[in-house]
Structure 1
Amino acid sequence: MAGLDGDSLAELLWLGLLLVALIGWYVSGRARPRLGVVLQHALVWVFLFAGVVALYGLRDRLDRTLFPARPVADAAGRIVLLRAQDGHFYARAEVNGTPVRFLVDTGASDILLSREDARRVGIDPDALAYYGTARTANGIVRMARVRLETLRLGPIESRDVPAWVGAGEMSGSLLGMSYLAHFARITIDGDRMTLEPRRP
């Protein structure tokens, strides 16, 4: 179909199958008094199977919508992130044991925590010395140097991680190249970002 790539066409087909399953379920329910018991049970299983198959086919879209920041480790140990609806990649990591949602920003030099996230992970932003500056989506912000006891992304945990805390208003925390450079390779294929760890 013109204007649709392969992924979009596949999603359209899966949505069509799911719609057929739902309509079939509804119609069979209304016609149940006129159907035999065996036929009723057969239709229930047919439409249930079609619905499950359709949901499986739409699993990537559901993941992007419901869990866009959840990192998934594949069989090779690579971390896979799905593109969110706003077009960006986010990663839910644990900082000092506390979940933090990061925007994965290959254009950022360092890890930059918002004041809110810093406070959540046990850092008092009011007690910091803000002597650095960084350009963010909200403009220039002053920064304070900190070290994170632990940062865990999927199965990979790093200790004593250098980072910064922003003094001004930020829409969220950034995961920049000072952390991403520890991976051997970063690739983007469609709506998937894959982080391949370095081998020992």
Structure 2
Amino acid sequence: MDGDDYGRLIYLSLLLVAVAGWGFSEYRGRMGQGLRAFLAWGLIVLGLMAGYGLWQDIRHDVMPMQRASASAIEIPRAMDGHYYITLTVAGQPLTFMADTGATGVVLSKSDAARLGIDLADLVFAGQSQTANGIVRTARVRLDDVSLGPFHDASIGAFVNEGDMDGSLLGMEYLGRYSIEISGDRMILRR
């Protein structure tokens, strides 16, 4: 154990002593009632822990995630009706909304910053027509882009100067795949 572990142990011990002291003073003369309350809260905490553990096991069934095989990527439709695709860009997972109405790959400012792109160094010289009007954009290159087994050394993208909830994956990238939509699944093949 290192110094941090000893500190945590001391903190948890003090917390336990404080809770036990409160329990003894609150339930003085009614220890049976106090023990029942303690056991009830213990069972509640155990139930929450078990629920969290089960959620980790079943969340992929409740909220399906994209699946990759050697020849295809299968993306489930999200509850909002869109398809969200997670690419790995320079080792960093990044989620994009598939947008067949968009030409290019468009990064939000927050996603660009997550990838290590210095927003202060960008020149927002381009313009793009969106549903919300014209926005200024800056051209960037994304290196080492992977989607499942498919890899691209470099792809072009834009950083949007306006506010965006997330990044968009337009046809410049999606056009590298054959796209099939079947039921509530988008299937990309190369």
TM-score interval, normalised by the smaller of the two chains: 0.5 to 0.7
C-alpha deviation, 1:153, in angstroms: 1.0
TM-score (ref. length: structure 2): 0.65
TM-score (ref. length: structure 1): 0.62
Match of 1:26 in 2: none
- Provide the rounded CA distance (Å) in 1 between the counterparts of 2:124 and 2:116: 17
Letter in 2 for 1:71: Q
Asked if residue 170 in structure 1 is aligned to residue 167 in structure 2, the reply is: no
SS state at 2:97 partner = strand
Asked if residue 141 in structure 1 is aligned to residue 138 in structure 2, the reply is: no
Gaps of 5+ in 2: 1-57
Question: Structure 2 matches for 1:19-168, cutoff 5 A?
Answer: 63=60, 65-67=62-64, 70-74=65-69, 77-136=71-130, 138-168=132-162
- Provide the rounded CA distance (Å) in 1 between the counterparts of 2:87 and 2:71: 16
1:57-106 Cα shifts (integer Å, max 9, x gaps): xx8xx647534xx43123x6111100000000001111111111100011
C-alpha deviation, 1:152, in angstroms: 1.1
1:89–1:65 CA distance, 2 compared to 1 (3 A) = farther
- Provide the rounded CA distance (Å) in 2 between the counterparts of 1:138 and 1:120: 25
Number of matched pairs: 133
> Which of 1 and 2 has higher RCO (CA within 8 Å, sep 6+)?
2
Q: Is the 8 A contact 1:105 1:176 kept in 2?
A: yes
Q: Is the 8 A contact 1:108 1:177 kept in 2?
A: yes
Q: Is the 8 A contact 1:111 1:175 kept in 2?
A: yes
SS state at 2:104 partner = coil
Gaps of 5+ in 1: 1-58
- Provide the rounded CA distance (Å) in 1 between the counterparts of 2:143 and 2:61: 30
> Which of these residues, 173, 176, 192, is aligned with residue 185 of structure 2?
192
Q: Which has the larger radius of gyration?
A: 2
1:133-154 Cα shifts (integer Å, max 9, x gaps): 2234544321000001121111
SS state at 1:112 partner = strand
Task: Give every structure 1 segment of 4 or more consecutive aligned residues whose post-TM-superposition deviation is greater than 3 Å.
Answer: 62-65, 135-139
Letter in 2 for 1:177: M
Give identity over the alignment, percent: 46
Please give the root-mean-square deviation of Cα atoms over the aligned residues, in Å.
1.8
Q: Is the 8 A contact 1:71 1:154 kept in 2?
A: no
